[in-house]
Amino acid sequence: MLTSDLFSLPTLGYVAITLAFILMVKSLVKPTYPSNIPPFPARPYPILGHLPYVMKGQRISEYLKALAQLGGRPKDVSMLTRTSVSNNICSIIVGKRFDYQDPFLIAFIESFQKQAKAGENFSPVVIWPWLRHIPGNFLNSKTLNREIHAVIEQFCDKFIEQVTKNEDDMPECFISQYWKEMNKMKAQGKSTTLNVENLRWSLYQLFFAGTDTTSTTIMWYMYFMLRHPHIQKKVYHELSEVVGVERAPDLQDKAKLNYFWATVMETQRLASILPQSVPHLCIADVTIQGYTIPAETVVLPNLDAVMLDENTWEEPQKFRPERFLDDTGALIKPDSFMPFSVGRRMCLGEALANTELFLYISALIQRFELQPSVEGQPPEVSFVEGVICPPGRFEVRFIERAASETA
Ligand code: HEM
């Protein structure tokens, strides 16, 4: 077993109580998560890809409007950003959008934050669920169990019931697509993993995975732009050259903004928001580069070790978007860039996340100059440890470009 000082206490706790294999270098991460091994189970969400979902510009403009209403006053916008991004996944999975202030949505987002905190998702209780039967609140097990079940019962069950109550007239969303497919399989007498219990848990996973990941990346982007104002200027310059200032960036612009993408990729590399990805279970004995991983071993890919590796990246701790550009200014994507992990079970939401990152961040920088709460004092280097790692709390002043340019 390999180990690293990058690992958090909860992970080390995990490793101490179960057989675990930590992958520390790309040459191990890549072959351990191959893309073409037949016995791997198919993804449980085949239906998601068929949804004719397009991100609507209107959603971003609501977010920008809320930022503009701050009138340039400093504000920690992490909750506003989470709510806005969460609304995108909500409209895909349950066919509904919420108001930014809606206490129903905010309660779940706060619950996800608690669940993502260090010590909870990697808790022994997740590995050995029977631990929750020990009297008292052993290792926070009862709290964690309560938080997860509240989301399942109050969100997933509620919307499954609402969406499917009239099967002939269901709104278009993940639930209705899943429901139709499940009934079709049943009617054809085919064996399937599509059932109500899997639907409940799939909704939970999608809601959770689609809320905190993208919004955390957007918050890191703001953080890096505050620390590197000259880079922010260059991004704005490219946007104004390619898109102009008269219209909002749209998906046709996506492939034309190389410097913009280099800053997004550098944010994802350096922030490495899921440093230990998610645990996988090895289903058969396997030997990789001389290491034997027995069946039933938990495998933890240390994405941090790959994306911050000194042998691959020059000055890996520095924010340098140019590392993703070649001499002609074309975008390059090195093998070691893997914020969405690799292999057959890599992030299911990569395409959605990239679309969201593009639409939110490009519109943000086009409209506002991001400034620290106190001029000349960017946020300190800090992050919150957990399964998903956001930056420490900081405030931003969103100065309308038109106003800052005429001032
Ligand atoms: C910048 C944003 C995101 C990042 C960095 C990210 C990263 C990751 C990573 C590292 C994994 C683990 C892959 C593995 O097991 O090896 C993962 C899994 C997953 N992600 Fe994302 N993710 C992001 C956004 C999203 C979004 C928006 C969704 C919503 C659809 C999503 C849904 C999922 C799901 C369902 C899985 C489990 C896939 C499976 O087990 O087959 N992710 N993600």
74-83, 131-140, 341-350: range with highest mean pLDDT: 74-83
Specify the higher pLDDT residue, 267 or 104: 267
Annotate 55-71 with b (16+ C-beta within 10 A) or e (fewer).
Answer: beeebbeebbebbeeee
Pocket test for ligand 1, best of 87, 213, 302, 357 (most atoms within 8 A of CB): 213
Atom of ligand 1 nearest to the CA of 44: 41
Residue-wise pLDDT for 394-407, tens only, equals: 999 999 997 555 44
In which band, very low, low, confident or very high, does the pLDDT at 10 lie, cut at 50, 70 and 90?
Answer: low
Instruction: Please report which confidence band the pLDDT of residue 73 belongs to, taking 50, 70 and 90 as the band edges.
Output: very high
Over 70: is that where the pLDDT of 314 sits? yes
Any ligand 1 atom below 6 A from CB of 274: yes
Burial of 287 (0-12, 13-18, 19+ CB in 10 A): exposed
CA of 346 to the centre of ligand 1 (A): 7
Q: Please tell me if the CB atom of residue 345 comes closer than 6 angstroms to any atom of ligand 1.
A: yes
Least reliable range by pLDDT among 123-132, 188-197, 215-224, 336-345: 123-132
389 alpha carbon – ligand 1 mean position (Å): 14
Distance in Å, CA 218 to ligand 1 centroid: 16
Q: Would the CB of 339 count as within 6 Å of ligand 1?
A: yes
The reply to whether ligand 1 has any atom less than 6 angstroms from the CB of 205 is yes
CB distance 209 to ligand 1 below 6 Å: yes
Q: What is the ipTM of this complex?
A: 0.98
pLDDT tens digits for range 269-313: 999 999 888 888 888 898 888 888 888 888 888 898 899 999 999
Q: Is 307 a pocket residue for ligand 1 (Cβ < 6 Å)? A: no
Tell me how far the alpha carbon of residue 192 lies from the centroid of ligand 1, in angstroms.
Answer: 23
Q: What mean pLDDT is predicted for residues 245-250?
A: 91
For residue 132, pLDDT beyond 70: no
* Interatomic CA distance for residues 29 and 301, integer angstroms: 6
Specify the residue with its C-alpha closest to ligand 1, atom 23: 213
206 neighbors 80 (Cβ within 8 angstroms):
no
pLDDT at 6 over 50: no
Taking the CA of residue 339 as reference, the ligand 1 atom at the shortest distance is: 5
Predicted pLDDT of residue 406: 43
Would you say residue 370 has pLDDT above 90?
Answer: yes
Known binding residue 173? Answer is no
pLDDT over 90 (residue 54): no
- Measure 278 CA to ligand 1 centroid, in angstroms: 9
Domain boundaries, the chain: 9-406
Whole-number average pLDDT of the chain: 84
- Per-residue pLDDT at 328 exceeds 90: yes
374 versus 3: the higher-pLDDT residue is 374
* Segment among 49-53, 109-113, 153-157, 397-401 with least mean pLDDT: 49-53
Domain 9-406: give its CATH code: 1.10.630.10
CB-based contact 326:332 (threshold 8 Å): yes
C-alpha torsion 242→67→393→90, nearest 10? -90
The residue with greater pLDDT, 18 or 178, is 178
Higher-pLDDT residue of 240 and 296 is: 240
Task: Determine the average pLDDT of the residues in 71-79.
Answer: 96
% of residues, the chain, pLDDT over 90: 50
Lowest mean pLDDT among 3-12, 113-122, 237-246: 3-12
Q: How far is CA 404 from CA 147, 344, 370, 399, in A?
A: 44, 47, 11, 6
Atom of ligand 1 nearest to the CA of 352: 27
Which residue, among 153, 147, 62, has the nearest Cα to 107 in the 3D structure? 147
Q: Which residue has the higher pLDDT, 32 or 248?
A: 248
